[in-house]
Structure 1
Amino acid sequence: MTNIPDPYLSPPSQPWGRWVTTTLRNYLAKRQEYDLGTYNAIKQINLAVPQPMRAVLWRQTTGTVAVTTAGVYYPINLAGTLDPDTTFNMAAGTTNVTGLINTTNQARTMVFIASYDGEAGFASGIGLKLALNGTLIDATECNSFASSIGLVGKTMTQFIIRMEPEDEVSMWAANLSTTTDVTVERFKLLAHAVQ
């Protein structure tokens, strides 16, 4: 009850009745103010608490990344499987399906570990870089040697990246030696929030 009606009291008791009703009104007003302050404080705490984020995207079947220029990185863009048991608040990429998207409304600092096994023709070097929203991150570059005689190279990189809401981090590959397409036998992309 937020409104206390003015009672009808006989004239000798009116001062006492007014004191009681005024005191009750003040008490209720303070309580409402306290309840509102408590609600706002809890809401701010809930907004400030980072949401957990993690994901594993993997593929175990062979695919090809088209190469037209040696040493140039191209999006792998081969669909993988997003592990439903471990993935939370992230989704598979849309611009480059070999990527992960932040599906929360929070900016988070993420650790990424990415690797692929592949080859690109006889005695060729293969490369891996991560990209944020399609922009390559040169500091993530890793290279490996591969050959076309059944031996594949494994490239692996790891990095910490700040992701805003809807940001996408994806994997890119390169043939460092020739223009032969890169054959990706398998890949893994793992991410988890650290802040």
Structure 2
Amino acid sequence: MQDNKTITQSDTEISLYYIKTFSDTAREPFLILDPKFQIIGANASFYKNFQVTKEQTEGRFIYDLGNGQWNIPELKKLLEDILPNKKVFNDYEVSHDFPGIGVKTMLLNARQLDATQQILLAIEDITLKRAIEVKLANYTKDLEKGVSEKTEELKIRIDELAKMNSYMVGRELKMVELKKENEALKERQRLEE
């Protein structure tokens, strides 16, 4: 009689089959690791995005993959320190310069499956998103600077116009005053005649 808590080789193979089937349908890169961080499988998106083959990947330890390019300190900390305690981590942002590929900014999500202790690691490449965010932030900063400069120019122009208006009103008032004086002089002159 089999103990319900005992996981058989068959159960592990069935579990792996379902995980691989699931990961193969996903657009984002996935790695399936055993509890010692050896790669059991990866999906086509992983192979394509990180320019590796199945032969170069499966059976290797994640830290040895691509001549050590996955020996990323942040990833190590997540897998070895956080995952064993929490069994899951979500949206950990990591940037790394991959030889031949360039710098990639990634969101890492992982879950350790209770039954088999296998680890499902999802990798979302957000490099383009972050680049767009930086460009947008720079554009916004430039736009705000431009608006601020134009606002300052308008303020200066408004102040100049206010001064001119003050001079013009003062001049008008002086003209009215002179006109009244002129009329008063004419009236006085007319009365003296």
TM-score of the superposition, structure 1-length normalised? 0.28
Please identify the structure whose Cα radius of gyration is greater: 2
Higher strand proportion: 1
Which fold has the larger relative contact order, with Cα–Cα distance below 8 Å and residues 6 or more apart in sequence?
1
Higher helix proportion: 2
TM-score of the superposition, structure 2-length normalised? 0.28
